[in-house]
Amino acid sequence: MSTILAKKPSTLTDLPMHYCPGCGHGIVHRLLAETFEELNIADRVIGVAPVGCAVFADDYFTCDTVQGAHGRGPAIATGVKRSKPGAIVFSYQGDGDLASIGMAEIVHAAVRSENITVIFINNAIYGMTGGQMAPTTLVGQVATTAPKGRDPKMQGWPINMCEMLSQITGSKYLARVAVDTPQNVLKAKACIKKAFENQVNNVGFSMVEVISQCPTNWHASVEQALEFVRTKMIPQYPLGVFKDEGAK
Amino acid sequence: MTQKTLRKGNEALAEGAIRAGARFFAGYPITPQNEVPEYMAAHMADNGGAFVQAESEVAAINMVYGAAATGTRSMTSSSSPGISLKQEGITYLASADLPCLIVNVMRGGPGLGSISGAQGDYFQATRGGGNGDYHIIVLAPNSVEELGNFPKLGFDLAEKYRMPCMILADGILGQMMESMAFNFDPVDPNKIGKFDWAVDIHKNGRKKSKVFSYKGDNLIADVTERAKRYGLIEKTEARYEARNCEGADVILVAYGLSSRACLEAVSKAEEKGLKVGLFRPITLWPFPSKALKEVSQKAKGILVVEQSLGQLVQDVKLAVGDSVPVGLNAYPAGGQPDGEQILTAAKSLLTGKKEGLFDLQTHAEGFTYECKRDLSLGVQGDRKEVK
């Protein structure tokens, strides 16, 4: 007799994911899907998919989904949530999407403390378009539009979204996690779950920033990419909970 | 049906939208449409809807995208520069086949332009405005009463054909007061049914709904299907008003506020020995081309009166071809037409004179007001040596 210890959550479709080997998106998708199951909210989740590598995220979840314009996820989620207050609405966004073209939308969704959950994948690079410099690209990190590495004199410094949004009263839950080790994946799961529990409890704006790896556009093996997360990314983007006003 | 009341255009529009079942509004302040979001802020919540003052016009239209995806009657309003910002969301709404209402209370342009009423956004509204092959339905009211009643028509058409609908008004129409009555009973959004395509809370294993804009390999099929829908709309939904066109020597063609000045011209024409009629497109897309060609068959000329630089006239020329001469009486950039000037231009059209007619070939003559800009200030952009 064999025992099933782990299986695909019922909230994920059977479609094979298109993500590159070693990418963090698939892990985060699974954590979201598990959360929907465990919180018993699968029947009322509505997801907002971004422009970027996760543009097809809407195909991977069994919940209803809306896929909209680059950076506008928090605005679209605002429209969905205000029209369907009983729905659990999440916006899934990358770093170019959230911290560059969509900076106004994420800041003001926090200012209004929209009761939505934002999942922010920060891998310090534009993936879908082929490795251009992101607002979160590290100083010295090479990108196709920063061929000699990001130079603060020319391109400024990376932006830390959790720290920035923590200054906004309307931000109720801000956490930064990584998915580089099994331990960190478990911690990430706990934070993601908290961010959705907050929405169920009408706490207000919650965001989880996931430090993720992009072996393809970092031109690294998976092992090298995970090492880059530990030695370069996390020192710039320290993990932890920056704000937690949903705690009871 | 309601009793006649005195209302400001923008407020009639906002009240009309709520009566038409609008339950989501997002907008950003811009003159001359501010009464619309102000009215929504005051009344939307009491009617069980949501009002959001967005951080930008871009955010506002994307909020409408999200709300429309739930099947809620959703809308935004703005004025010309703000509508430019909304084009991103409008093309996404068109691509995702989402119904919604967009209101443009036009002002002078290009750029920041002026806050005077104008009609310079005709091309932007009727040609799409955003990227890609698409149309939106465009309704052009010419009275406060129509401003109040067109939101219902707009939502009905938008939902019937699953596409955005725009009400193209202008600053003066939005700001002026007239007596008006609503010609429909208030719509209860809870009683108009649900769309099977809308995202919603799942119950009893309902099929997944997916609202999306990226079509990839399916784009050709997608755009082709939409083209067929557009063809059907052009055939069945073109709306217009024709006044005194039968037996008219000159038929004026104008929409919105310009058509009101044309009414003055029509009523004064007879005393000046002229036979002048008015053809007013009510839908700018679809343009009532067939009807215009039919009513103008026996006319000696068509005079297009528009508060823009030769935009409406292009649709008129496409409609009538060479069957009748077309002249243009243009009041761009916030200029306002009046009946006397229109009649002067109408006479010119019949007598081969130039007065009041805009020269469509040279663009050099025919402005109804003087050019006061000093052209020696380098308008042509010559680089000069700086010592």
Distance of CA A13 to the CA centre of its chain: 20
Contact A66 B66 (CB under 8 A): yes
**Closest residue to A69, CB basis, from B62, B68, B200:** B62
Task: Say if CB B13 and CB B176 are below 8 A apart.
Answer: no
A170 and chain B: CB distance < 8 Å anywhere? no
Please state, in angstroms and rounded to a whole number, the distance separating the CA atoms of residues B313 and B302: 10
Q: Three-class SS of residue B226?
A: helix
Phi, psi of A215 (to 5 degrees): -55, -40
A66 Cβ under 8 Å from any chain B Cβ: yes
Answer yes or no: same fold for B5-236 and B240-351.
yes
Q: In this complex, is the C-beta atom of B41 within 8 Å of any C-beta atom belonging to chain A?
A: no
Quote the CATH superfamily of domain A25-244: Thiamin diphosphate (ThDP)-binding fold, Pyr/PP domains (3.40.50.970)
pLDDT digits (tens, 9 = 90+) for A210-227: 999 999 999 999 999 999
CA–CA separation, A76 and B259 (whole Å) = 38
pTM here is: 0.95
- Work out the minimum CA distance from B166 to partner chain A, whole angstroms: 19
Q: Are A178 and A239 in contact (CB under 8 A)?
A: yes
A8 Cβ under 8 Å from any chain B Cβ: no
Domain boundaries, chain B: 5-236, 240-351
Any chain B CB within 8 A of the CB of A14? no
**Residue B233: what residue type?**
I
Q: Which CATH superfamily is domain B5-236 in?
A: Thiamin diphosphate (ThDP)-binding fold, Pyr/PP domains (3.40.50.970)
CATH of B240-351, one of 3.90.1150.10, 3.60.15.10, 3.20.20.70, 3.40.50.920: 3.40.50.920
Q: Which residues of B touch A84 (CB under 8 A)?
A: 70, 72, 199-201
Alpha-carbon distance A144 to nearest alpha carbon in chain B (angstroms)? 25
Rg of chain A's alpha carbons, rounded to an integer? 17
Q: B128: helix, coil or strand?
A: coil
pLDDT tens series, chain B, 387 aa: 679 999 999 999 999 999 999 999 999 999 999 999 999 999 999 999 999 999 999 999 999 999 999 999 999 999 999 999 999 999 999 999 999 999 999 999 999 999 999 999 999 999 989 999 999 999 999 999 999 999 999 999 999 999 999 999 999 999 999 999 999 999 999 998 889 999 999 876 678 999 999 999 999 999 999 999 999 999 999 999 999 999 999 999 999 999 999 999 999 998 888 999 999 999 999 999 999 999 999 999 999 999 999 999 999 999 999 999 999 999 988 888 989 999 999 999 999 999 999 877 665 555 555 555 555 555 556 677 777
